[in-house]
Structure 1
Amino acid sequence: MKKQLLVAMLLASSNLIFAQSGFRAGYVLPLSGDTLRGEVDYRGEQRNSLLCRYRPSATGAVVEYQPGQIRAYGFAGGTNYQSKTLPEKTTASAFLEALVLGRAELFHRVDDRNQDRYYIGTAATAPAVQALGISDTTVTRYDETQHRNVTTQQRLYTFRNVLWPIMADCPSVQTTVAKVELKQTSLIKLVSAYNTCINPAATKTFTPKNNSATRISVLGGTHQGTIRVINEANNTEHELDKSQGAAFGVGLDIPMRRFNPRLSLLLQALYVLQNYHSTYVEASPNRFNGDDITNNEVKAELATLRVPLILRYSFMRGRVQPFVEAGFLPSLNVLRDASVRSERPRFQSVDTYVFPVHRFNVGAGLVGAGLSIKAGSGSVQLEMRADRYDGTSDPIHGLALSGTRGLTLLAGYTFGG
């Protein structure tokens, strides 16, 4: 029943992925005419700089705009993007995220190499902007103490040379240019101070939300597992009784907003307990031993430290957000107590073998689905995961543990965000 529920959740979620985009309340500023208000698609910083997708309502037709076709677009109470001509040869124009507007205007974008790029413009140069950057060069000088030429690496803060003349009409701010760093907070502070110096009423500063901060999660729940005993001699397998044990741990939630605001990378450490106990009867494969049977009793007590690396996709915005996930599942078996007691009544013999359970294991993977619910300054997650392992142990006297399957129900809390 649980597996059927998980499959249903995954199928429903996959349909939503294709049916739903990241439309939010927003606006478009055309080259002429009134502002268009409706919904704008948010697809991550890189894509936002290349394309604007607008629709007048949730049921309206989607219109796509490229840089140069509109003046700007943005989201209600949020980010503003403006069409600007770039100095780089590779890209003629782009939608740049506005950080500060006024006499001097500061913009930002993420390039195709996932690097932050900053630009500054003025009304006199619009729509063109100037790039703010640094460069490294090698300098060779004669060192009198060493009596030879010495080559060193020197960093050139070229962006300061760009900022200096722009701020010439406010000396109190201009003098601070020599110490400013090429960091978003420093640049916002500098340009805002300059605009306030010239015309406070015309200054507007956008405070970007820190959606990329890594968050910490705590998790707890229950794990139901199954495992098989493989008999290599007669090519049979027996599934042991299901195990029900605790699962708990911690994790890191790393947003990937630059690629897609709905994606996040999860790195977790989960401690999972499993106890199996089962008996079964197996007939001898030897046709000359017609009534030779073996009564097997298998016991396994396993404690596993799992370190899943998971890619999660969340959809819908608001207080409740469904998500689907898939990942890679390496693990460390910290407790490996597993054995089989084999009794052959015909020969009145009893043998006990200890399974050589692997210390390390790499699962075939995991898939899952769940809900994230806003709660206070963080969020609560309720989810179901299915996982699979093969080759739990090496064979001993033709018997091996393999085919481990599991369903995990987890509740977690993520701090922040």
Structure 2
Amino acid sequence: MNTILRRSYMLLISVFYFSVANAQIDFKPGYVITNAGDSLRGELAYRVQKLSHKSAIFIGEDGVKKEMRPESIQAYGYDDGQRFQSGIVDEVFVIVLVESYLSLYEHGSIFYLKKSDEIITVSTKETTQSDGSVLTGEPLKIAHTRLVNSLVFDCSTEDQLSLTKSGLTRLVLNYNQCKGEVVNYNWKNAKSIEFHLSILGMFVKNQLEIESFDDPFLFGDNPFGETPFAFETSSVGVSFPIKLGSPQNGKSIFNIYLEPGFLSYSYSDHYERTNNTYTYEWDRRVKSSLVSLPVGGIFSFEQKRSVIEAMFGFNLGFVVQSQVDSYRTRTLLSNNQQTFASEEEYGFEGMEPGLIVGLGYKRKIGSRLIGLNVRYQTALETDLSGYNATYSGNRLGFGLSVNLIN
């Protein structure tokens, strides 16, 4: 039994060893820049980031495998755009995010901005000052903002620095654009997820169309015929967009957004129908709540301190409806009166998606983006329980957004 276990154990170790070994020799086309400035073509080992910062395993045209360390070459990179640079940090290759008059590099949670021979360090977590004190949170942002402004003051300054990869990348791209410099930039190197939490209040017009009724207990089939009716009411919603994306260049950004929202509305209506014997009256009061999940894309066109946005997408969701109906019939001859009342609560109801288009304008005030937007959402349809009805939900809205998280 022990022999079997020992052999199984050795087999697992062997499988693991060869798996790791094979993972280490996954090569991709790339290049190496020597200290003399020569460019060598060949293949580079594609390894985990921790190993990529320490050395580069390179196979040149002669077929010889070499391990190159930061002190032996200037840089190396893959043909798909990812590039590593030496000389910024001792004995380490850093990732090149932007290379231009003002360059940006990354190593772990630390970013390096280089202009001419000056290099400053920006940490996203904490930094230790010369007196030994440690800065975090808001003091860290203030200190780094002053430091970065010393590099970009000749074009623009930041009131408060966004300590994110996308925020720093955007700052460096905009600065080089302002200076008219050529930029070497691959967006894949700087891709990240960025969360923008906004509060959006929309004043909208809702519409409900009832195509037919079926309530034989009181009226028989379709007491009001097939004529649709509509109601309108104003609603206010609060939503929280989450943008996921990366800057493509200094002017435009494409983001995927999710925007869970909540809308509520109420209305009442009255119907009366008379024949030779009876007058039928129906008073109805409805309170309804709608949960929606718009999903789509936003094209952002950035200037120095302003952003113009074009939005498109689809609105998914469901309605949670609480409805109160009161019915009354009255006989014309005797004036007798009967009242029937019912209260029903409806659960989640599936809705057909609607189309969303919109335009927005945002202005940077301090460290926040304050914006106005106009949006149009087409039909978000569902069959209401108990009726052959459609909640179309065509909405034209105007909103105010405030970015709470940069």
Relative to the length of structure 2, the TM-score reads 0.51
- 1:305 counterpart = 2:291: yes
> Of 33, 36, 44, which residue of structure 2 is paired with 1:121?
33
CA shift, 1:302, in A, is 2.4
Q: Which amino acid aligns with 1:269?
A: P
RMSD: 4.8
Contact persistence 1:215–1:415 (CA under 8 A):
no
Deviates more, 1:221-230 or 1:159-168: 159-168
Structure 1 equivalent of residue 389 of structure 2? 400
Change in 2 beyond 3 A, CA 1:344/1:236: farther
Instruction: State the alpha-carbon separation in 1 of the partners of residues 316 and 197 from structure 2.
Output: 19
Structure 2 equivalent of residue 220 of structure 1? 200
- 1:251 counterpart = 2:241: yes
Change in 2 beyond 3 A, CA 1:161/1:131: closer
CA shift, 1:256, in A, is 4.2
Contact persistence 1:255–1:261 (CA under 8 A):
no
Instruction: State the alpha-carbon separation in 1 of the partners of residues 398 and 357 from structure 2.
Output: 12
Q: Deviations over 1:214-254 (max 9, x none)?
A: 1221213143232324142321222124133x322323112
Change in 2 beyond 3 A, CA 1:344/1:226: farther
Structure 2 equivalent of residue 207 of structure 1? 104
Structure 1 equivalent of residue 58 of structure 2? 161
Other structure's SS at 1:240 match: coil
Other structure's SS at 2:57 match: helix
Other structure's SS at 2:71 match: helix
> Of 71, 74, 78, which residue of structure 2 is paired with 1:173?
71
CA shift, 1:383, in A, is 1.3
- 1:268 counterpart = 2:259: yes
Q: Which amino acid aligns with 2:46?
A: I
User: Unaligned stretches of 5+ in structure 2?
Assistant: 1-27, 76-80, 94-99, 106-167, 171-190, 213-221
Q: Which amino acid aligns with 1:311?
A: G
Other structure's SS at 1:239 match: coil
Contact persistence 2:45–2:58 (CA under 8 A):
no
Change in 2 beyond 3 A, CA 1:291/1:375: farther
> Of 329, 340, 343, which residue of structure 1 is paired with 2:325?
340
Instruction: State the alpha-carbon separation in 1 of the partners of residues 384 and 400 from structure 2.
Output: 34
Q: Deviations over 1:156-190 (max 9, x none)?
A: x994235999997xx88359x9xxxxxx9993356
CA shift, 1:316, in A, is 5.4
Q: Which amino acid aligns with 1:337?
A: S
CA shift, 1:325, in A, is 0.8
Change in 2 beyond 3 A, CA 1:225/1:320: same
* % same residue: 12
CA shift, 1:321, in A, is 2.5
Other structure's SS at 2:205 match: strand
Change in 2 beyond 3 A, CA 1:236/1:369: same
Instruction: State the alpha-carbon separation in 2 of the partners of residues 166 and 342 from structure 1.
Output: 88
Change in 2 beyond 3 A, CA 1:262/1:375: same
Contact persistence 2:268–2:286 (CA under 8 A):
no
Contact persistence 2:104–2:169 (CA under 8 A):
no
Q: Counterparts of 1:51-62 in structure 2 under 5 Å?
A: none
Q: Which amino acid aligns with 2:309?
A: F
Structure 2 equivalent of residue 381 of structure 1? 371
CA shift, 1:299, in A, is 2.2
- 1:320 counterpart = 2:306: yes
Instruction: State the alpha-carbon separation in 1 of the partners of residues 269 and 313 from structure 2.
Output: 34
Q: Deviations over 1:120-148 (max 9, x none)?
A: 3346645x655544279xxxxxxxxxxxx
Change in 2 beyond 3 A, CA 1:243/1:162: same
Instruction: State the alpha-carbon separation in 1 of the partners of residues 41 and 88 from structure 2.
Output: 14
Structure 2 equivalent of residue 22 of structure 1? none
- 1:187 counterpart = 2:80: no
Contact persistence 2:58–2:67 (CA under 8 A):
no
Contact persistence 1:282–1:294 (CA under 8 A):
yes
Change in 2 beyond 3 A, CA 1:357/1:243: farther
Q: Deviations over 1:23-71 (max 9, x none)?
A: xxxxxxxxxxxxxxxxxxxxxxxxxxxxxxxxxxxxxxxxxxxxxxxxx
Other structure's SS at 2:303 match: coil
Q: Counterparts of 1:28-43 in structure 2 under 5 Å?
A: none
Q: Deviations over 1:96-137 (max 9, x none)?
A: xxxxxxxxxxxxxxxxxxxx99643346645x655544279x
Instruction: State the alpha-carbon separation in 1 of the partners of residues 29 and 373 from structure 2.
Output: 38
Instruction: State the alpha-carbon separation in 2 of the partners of residues 361 and 328 from structure 1.
Output: 12
Q: Which amino acid aligns with 2:307?
A: Q
Q: Which amino acid aligns with 2:71?
A: V
Q: Deviations over 1:368-404 (max 9, x none)?
A: 21112123334222212222344444342x4535222
Q: Which amino acid aligns with 2:227?
A: T
Instruction: State the alpha-carbon separation in 2 of the partners of residues 290 and 132 from structure 1.
Output: 92
